[in-house]
Amino acid sequence: MFPFAFEWANDPVHFVFMGSLYAVLVVLFIFMNYCGIRATLDWLCKKDEPHHH
Amino acid sequence: MDSALIPEGVKRCPLKWFAVWIGILNVPLMVGVVGALLCWGLALNQTNMNNNYPFALWIAADLGVIALGAGAFFTGFLRYIVKIDELNNIVNFTVVIGVICYAAALGILAIDIGQPLRGWFIFWHANVHSMLTEVAFCISCYFMVLCIEYVPLILENRQIDKFRFPHAFSHRLHEMMPAIAAVGVFLSFFHQGSLGGVPGVLYGRPFAYREGFLVWPWTFFLFILSAIACGPCFTILITKITEKFARKQLVKRNVIDILARISGWLLAGYLVLKILDTVYWVSSTAANVGAPAGSFYANEPFGVWVLITEVGILGVIPAIILLTKRARENQPLLMLACLLNCTGIFMNRWIMTVQSLAVPVMPFDKFFSYHPNWVEWATTLMPLWAGAIVISLSYRYLPIFPQEKELNPL
């Protein structure tokens, strides 16, 4: 549900509930993109690092 | 034939035997697929669920596998946030188990909603006052987190790792793992708790209803504690079963001992709080609404034995074994404790869902019994077979046990 959906209400419950969902999704999106961009740079710069376990 | 894909320095069975094993596992899996297709094609009347039991075997199993999957987030928490470095040797395997458990939970829900094409409604037409909506959000997001944690394991396959980009991507994901684990802890904490909150807020059903703290009933906290107490035990159990099938030791004893000890203390803490909660519920919460405890256990098969078995046999006994050093070091006893603990969590989830609905709440209500039919059993057991296949493939082709080479030199 987005804020422009007809069911949306501008109350704290909607902001907290849906806001938490979108916050988590945005965080995961940023993590994956950050890793992807850094990996691309490593690849282009031919930087080779061992795995950290 | 597939030796190029197998991690270096370890031994695996011939491919033909592996193919036979996977083929055997596919037989019961296909029976489950038939059951699922029957439910989707002909509707939920293919099951023994009815208006008295809208929450039945599927939901009990769902709550059970989610609790068992808690080993993934809790071990990640202990490894990346509490910094118990020894757990590095088992954290990969907990991710595999977590992916299986959460995929199972989502798969069972996809069958249980009857119309999977409307599965997205819970996100688009979200009821923001429902704990189940929160659970749906959290388990979907946490499944994504687990998949992100599983990706670097796949990328570390011997052949994939030769390519520069997957190697770099896997490396960068490893670097981000503490932050990803923290997101997982946040999500798991809330959905494990909210699963307990769902029965706890049912004030029309005195068997399930509990008082609590702010908006959270005591069951919210009990579910979190029971999940993190049994998750590590499930990890130990599956590791030991994998070792039996592989006929070799894969994880050092001290790693298993850390998990067992932590699980024992958490289980003991949970049992103390569970007993206090039960006493308060019987003497105050239920008594104040005119529901004597005897009425909850008047209908067989849901007699008092259920409570004694859940707390005593499946709670106190494993807690004693896990907290006693000598008993914990005895491998068959440790396996027994883990098995009892995991069975206890399933029984607890069954009681809080199925028995909650079984207890009549009105004077004119009659007790109806419920027995799952083959469709429910076959679909519920599907994750077992699918999980065995995923673990077999992961064990064969991915470096999920870092200590395997050291423990089993070629």
Q: Which fold has domain B3-361+391-404?
A: Formate dehydrogenase/DMSO reductase fold (1.20.1630)
φ and ψ of B217, to 5 deg:
-70, 165
Residues facing B217 on adjacent strands? B212
Alpha-carbon dihedral angle through residues B152, B158, B159, B165, given to the nearest 10 degrees = 40
Q: Which two tokens stand for residue A13?
A: 């419950």
Query: Would you say B104 and B390 are in contact if contact means Cβ atoms under 8 Å apart?
Result: no
Asked if A36 is an interface residue toward chain B (Cβ–Cβ < 8 A), one would say yes
Tens digit of pLDDT for each residue in B85-106? 999 999 999 999 999 999 999 9
Residue B172 to residue A20, Cβ atoms within 8 A? no
Tens digit of pLDDT for each residue in B201-218? 998 899 999 998 888 999
Residue A34 to residue B124, Cβ atoms within 8 A? no
| pLDDT at res. A51 | 57
Nearest residue on chain A to B186, judged by CA atoms? Answer: A24
| pLDDT at res. B403 | 93
Query: Tokens 């990346």 belong to which residue?
Result: B80
* Kind of pairing between the strands at B212-213 and B216-217: antiparallel
| CA–CA distances in Å: residue A36 to residues A30, A49, B131, B173, B176 | 10, 15, 34, 9, 11
Interface test with A, best of B93, B135, B160, B172 (most A CBs within 10 A): B172
| Type of residue numbered B188 | S
φ and ψ of A49, to 5 deg:
-125, 145
- pLDDT tops 60 at residue A53: no
| pLDDT at res. B366 | 85
The interface predicted TM-score (ipTM) is 0.89
Residue B145 to residue A28, Cβ atoms within 8 A? yes
Asked if A42 is an interface residue toward chain B (Cβ–Cβ < 8 A), one would say yes
| pLDDT at res. A49 | 63
Asked if B176 is an interface residue toward chain A (Cβ–Cβ < 8 A), one would say yes
| CA–CA distances in Å: residue B73 to residues B64, B76, B149, B185, B348 | 15, 5, 11, 6, 21
Q: Which residues contact B125 (CB under 8 A, 6 or more apart)?
A: A1, A7
Domain boundaries defined on chain B: 3-361+391-404
Among B308, B306, B88, B285, residue whose Cα is nearest residue B206: B285
SS3 letters across B219-263:
HHHHHHHHHHHHHHHHHHHHHHHHHHHHCCCCCCHHHHHHHHHHH
| pLDDT at res. A50 | 59
Residues facing B334 on adjacent strands? none
Query: For each of chain B's 410 residues, which pLDDT tens digit applies?
Result: 788 999 988 999 999 999 999 999 999 999 999 999 999 999 899 999 988 888 899 999 999 999 999 999 999 999 999 999 999 999 999 999 999 999 999 999 999 988 888 889 999 999 998 888 999 999 999 999 999 999 999 999 999 999 999 999 999 999 999 999 999 999 998 899 999 999 999 988 999 999 988 889 999 999 999 999 999 999 999 999 999 999 999 999 999 999 999 999 999 999 999 999 999 999 999 988 888 888 888 888 888 999 999 999 999 999 999 999 999 999 999 999 999 999 999 999 999 999 988 888 888 888 888 899 999 999 999 999 999 999 999 999 999 999 999 998 87
Query: Would you say B193 and B78 are in contact if contact means Cβ atoms under 8 Å apart?
Result: no
Nearest residue on chain B to A19, judged by CA atoms? Answer: B128
| Pairwise CA distance, residues B314 & B286, whole Å | 24
- Which residues in B lie closer than 8 A to residue A39 (C-beta atoms)? 165, 168-169, 171-172
Asked if B187 is an interface residue toward chain A (Cβ–Cβ < 8 A), one would say yes
- pLDDT tops 90 at residue A7: no
Query: Would you say B97 and B69 are in contact if contact means Cβ atoms under 8 Å apart?
Result: yes
CA distance B90 to chain A (A): 11
| Pairwise CA distance, residues A46 & B314, whole Å | 55
The pTM of this model reads: 0.93
Among B389, B406, B309, B385, residue whose Cα is nearest residue B351: B309
| Pairwise CA distance, residues B276 & B199, whole Å | 18
| pLDDT at res. A47 | 67
Among A1, A38, A27, A17, residue whose Cα is nearest residue B184: A27
Asked if B405 is an interface residue toward chain A (Cβ–Cβ < 8 A), one would say no
Query: Would you say B354 and B55 are in contact if contact means Cβ atoms under 8 Å apart?
Result: yes
